[in-house]
Chain A
């Protein structure tokens, strides 16, 4: 038997098993149905009720089938008995369909340049480039200096403070680090060093700072605060965020409206 046939046979076996299971799964009795709203998130009741009113139940074959299976009646009879209100799967599905429809409609209109600018201004913190530092480091290897590490670091720092040119130990990380965010510094040399770099005064050699490789002496050459980038640099991100916000707002508004109408 070819591999593809065996694969298909396995699938057919699972399919038959599922049909058998379905056939012997008894329909829900009214007392099996939990109280309305139990264990369900906010909004699903309102959205599913509204979706049912829009006749989305009749258009969705999964819902129709679920209703038939649960009630052993036709879907219309099931709806008349109020199962669209009490079957959790039906209600989740209807709510999801209506939610997607609302979101899709809200995302249909392309934001204008003015709207993008306004959104960037309003959400400046979200799109800001985080604070950055530029620094020089002198490294002392724990492996090479062993017990003398701390004393060597103090001695080298004193020489640096005096203005001497001091070369540290070799490390395949640049001694001159360009503008970097805290996250970038942390990835390169660890969180304690990143924190120390952002706390260090400008232009002065720091106390020794530990990394997993040894000790580092830092001198911050430049510190830049968080910056709001120009729209041209973040246009796609702003557009996507604005469309997502519109979709969320549309769903929230629909929920409010539907709740008010109940």
Chain B
């Protein structure tokens, strides 16, 4: 197909996606799509675990922060004013506040003396001993295989469900107020919440993102529907089937804390996954959050993989429980990671004809202080209370050493509007970064020329000759024969600080070979730059690349083997957030006797002082069948 024809097709698609009746059309529109940076995982005071850490910022505050305004952060001073303030150097393009829906009503009741239940024991505990309330609530609700509401919610939970109307209204009104419906289209908000299921402390959490302000009457939480596939089916019914204009998707996250539960290809009763259930997962879960505050979920360095770059922001425990009981901690199993899921998905597709784990990638923060998109490592003030009581002032690091500032979600869309961004999520034309705003294009096709990177219409030819990230390539045409080509172009962050150039682009391939899952990582552009960074001062040395572009063909392509390919872009080494924080506090690990106990983590050699920030594109799948 000619490039011009594809542009026309994209124009038509853009028009369809932008059909939103009650707004001005966006002045900035490009059928070849722009990269929009955002955060789809943000908690505010409406989440119990944020509230018990002293967070007072509400959804409206989170959106104002995302748009570039200043945010007050706990602890508060004697008059109730926050003692810390934070502001993004660069506003986000979009965000979703995704508070835990399970205790919306309970939290509301416990904070409102005029509501029945205010004086119930759990509420008293919440107000007096918030950290204890956190543990009790998790035990009874989110971390229980059989969650149940507290007694003060009434025998059928109606009291608390009714009380959850107010916070749900607050969520929706804040999103509505933040959405830029002018022609400038500077910011898009999504109504959302988090389904917070973690049976026996093994994480199955999903963020629920709605396409518009047409949403169900109440959020469907883990306590309402604890079985994942029934939850997805019921969400579909309550949104798409019963609510005109409603559309929704769910985004799993922190598979690294699931102890292998997140991607088990089985039904609730342990039987192999059915085609219907696989289709449900495939349709409703196009994306996975690959990295955030509580670690990276891409892959594991272990017997199954020699990919050294998997050793990035790994947590030293396998689930939530082990984070509190360190003697029970073991490394997370391979099945807790997205790469395993992608490989398992290939096998499931062969078995069922549908891939339940056909995930594109995003990253986000999972901030619990409403600081959407606060990913800058040298000014990181933590995304929670670092385990401290709400009014305590941190004397050590501002966050637990194993955590990180998290990352950003990037969507390729024609314009910054709800329909366009939601459509990008649906088709998986998305990627994640660990914080820097790298721009990455990734196309797969059969006939890209070797000099595509020198063509001024690289993007148009990319669309015309194949599919973008998130797409599928089907059985190779007879002519020209050979392997598919993958065109990738990465640009370093145009404006972010601390600045770092690129080091390399890799393509990660996973495939099925005689029924066995295999993987291989290829360096396709850039390479060893010799660049380094002095961890004591965070001063970088050496050169890197401003941009990297290549067209790569799989040298071992077998048209009979299903496969996936995704690009991973690495920056030159830079300091980890903890190195900045420890340096700022004068820690010198060569003189351990002078390191205050509160800062002992600075010298814990399990955690690196230097990392390589990165981006992960959504995969492109090769399917050795005709498209259905």
Contact = CB atoms under 8 A, between A and B. Distances in A.
Contacts of B173: 236, 240
Interface residues on B, range: 35 or more
A236 B63 CA distance: 13
Given A179-B27, A233-B24, 6 more contacts: A3-B201, A3-B321, A14-B129, A59-B113, A142-B546, A212-B494
A187 B37 contact: yes
Contact of B139 (A7, A14, A240): A7
Contacts of B60: 240, 244
Interface in B321-347: 321, 324-325
A68 interface: no
A11 interface: yes
A18 interface: yes
Interface in B1-43: 22-24, 27-30, 32, 34, 37
A234 B182 contact: yes
B495 A44 contact: no
A239 interface: yes
B468 to A, nearest CB: 12
Contacts of B181: 232-234
Interface in B529-554: 545-547, 549
Contacts of A157: none
A214 B494 CA distance: 11
Given A7-B321, A170-B458, A237-B177, A41 B81 contact: yes
A184 interface: yes
B79 A92 contact: yes
A172 B458 contact: yes
A65 interface: yes
12 contacts: A4-B139, A6-B325, A11-B132, A61-B124, A141-B547, A170-B454, A174-B32, A183-B91, A232-B22, A234-B181, A236-B176, A240-B60
A186 interface: yes
A143 interface: yes
B169 to A, nearest CB: 12
A35 to B, nearest CB: 13
Contacts of A212: 492-495, 499, 501, 546
Contacts, number: 176
A213 interface: yes
A203 interface: no
A172 B499 contact: no
Nearest to A139: B456
Interface residues of A, number: 68
A10 B202 CA distance: 17
B176 to A, nearest CB: 4
A259 to B, nearest CB: 15
Interface of A: 2-4, 6-8, 10-11, 14-15, 18, 39-44, 59-62, 65, 88, 92, 95-96, 99, 129-130, 132, 141-143, 167-175, 178-181, 183-184, 186-191, 211-214, 229, 232-234, 236-237, 239-241, 244
Interface string B476-503: 0000000000000101111100010100
Interface string B100-130: 0000000000000100000100001101110
Contacts of A244: 60
B182 A129 contact: yes
Given A4-B200, A61-B124, A214 B546 contact: yes
A241 B173 CA distance: 12
Contact of B174 (A42, A61, A189, A240): A240
Contact of A18 (B79, B129, B201): B129
Given A3-B201, A170-B454, A236 B177 contact: yes
A8 B135 contact: yes
A81 to B, nearest CB: 21
